Amino acid sequence: MAQPSAPSARTRLVREADRAVYDRDAAYRILDEGFICHVGFVVDGQPFVIPTGYGRVGDNLYIHGSAASRMLRRVDEGLAVCVTVTLLDGLVLARSIFNHSMNYRSVVILGTARAVNDPTEKLEALRLLSEHILPGRWVESRLPNEKELKATLVMRLPIEEFSAKVRQGPPVDDEEDYAFSTWAGVIPLEMVAGNPINDPRLNLGCAVPTYVEKYSRKR
């Protein structure tokens, strides 16, 4: 069942408000299909936006990076962040250049992220990150050792202030342009996995796992 969430003044869509989505279920479906987010924040007056992998569990988003990252360490000091995830579903070709568009699904989350220092939660967050990107891989791989865990920074962002925006369907032209003789419609786009490529140093007899052979971002 959808869980409506009243938008804040900062997340309420004003332009093209009909595309706004404020329920958690819809936003989480977008988050769970994507796997790259962009984290925006300001340090000493300079804006930064960094891409990183993420994973979600419940109402928390986990992101990770290098423990040596000065910028991420500043985020842990309580800087406000803006996290965005966008899925591109198609190019929308209208009869007029002005009305060309894209079909997409996006989520914006505002809040404050904090480092995960509890060893158990940190390891579980890394498992969630791995399983979010490639379900089934965690149990077949060597787990992080103590040195690798110390070198990795995991941050937790509560999903409290958020909104989603969705554009679907055909182009919308000005009424007088519908008589214009040019093709109009949608070019669907989707992420499709190619055939797996073996590591040249793969041990003999190692078969391609099912979760690799049938990999898909569709949820």
What CATH number has the domain bearing residue 111?
A: 2.30.110.10
Q: What percent of the chain has pLDDT over 70?
A: 95
Residue 163 falls inside a structural domain: yes
The answer to whether position 103 is within a domain reads yes
Domain region containing 71: 17-171+195-213
Residue 5 lies in a domain: no
56 DSSP assignment: E
Task: Decide the pairing of beta strands 152-158 and 60-66.
Answer: antiparallel
Measured from the Cβ of residue 18, the count of other Cβ atoms closer than 10 Å reads: 7
In a domain, 201, yes or no: yes
Q: How many domains does the chain have?
A: 1
Tell me, yes or no, whether 187 lies in a domain. no
Residue 108 lies in a domain: yes
Asked if residue 182 is part of any domain, the answer here is no
Considering only CA atoms, which of 188, 15, 184, 37 is closest in space to residue 104? 188
Q: What are 151-210's pLDDT values in tens digits?
A: 999 999 999 999 999 999 999 999 999 999 999 999 999 989 999 999 999 999 999 999
pTM: 0.88
Give phi and psi for 24, each to the nearest 5.
Answer: -65, -40
